[in-house]
Amino acid sequence: MIYGIGIDLVRIERMKDVVERWGKKFIQRVFTKNEISYCYEKKNPYLSLAVRFAAKEALIKAIGSEVVVPLTDIEVISSENGKPVIKVNGKLKKFFDKKAIKQASISLSHEKDYGIACVVLEK
């Protein structure tokens, strides 16, 4: 049973501008250490940062306004085969348990100027 669906689109250049303006303060407030390491290993870290930010926003849209969580409670990691996976922590993990949300499926994509993410939450 689907609990919620969310989608978000981020302009990659906008992510670059925000990171250049706010630096570590922004990065550490939004991304986990694992996400930061993964993104900065890439040739263009802003691409990876943008789609991860879009994923976090898409997940928040999927849960609606039922709970406010820090963005670092949402972590986008890669499985062994490279598939993106959402890992929930802290307050968001408690919310998932309370609502019996068993799965958060995610799809990420980027093309030239934009990164997009879609999240489907299942009970």
In the chain, where the domains are located: 2-122
pLDDT at 66 over 90: no
In terms of C-beta density within 10 A (0-12 exposed, 13-18 middle, 19 or more buried), how is residue 114 classed?
Answer: middle
Instruction: Identify the active-site residue in 24, 25, 56, 61.
Output: 61
- The predicted-structure confidence for 21-52, as pLDDT tens digits, reads as follows 999 999 999 999 999 999 999 999 999 999 99
Reported pTM:
0.95
Q: How many CB atoms lie within 10 A of CB 82?
A: 6
Q: What's residue 118's pLDDT?
A: 98
Q: Name which of 65, 50, 53 is nearest 11 in CA terms.
A: 50
Q: How many Å apart are CA 63 and CA 30, to the nearest integer?
A: 18
Of the candidates 16, 56, 99, 110, the residue annotated as catalytic is 110
Residue 65 has pLDDT above 90, yes or no: no
Q: What is the residue-wise DSSP string for 44-67?
A: SHHHHHHHHHHHHHHHHHHHTTS-
Class of domain 2-122: alpha beta
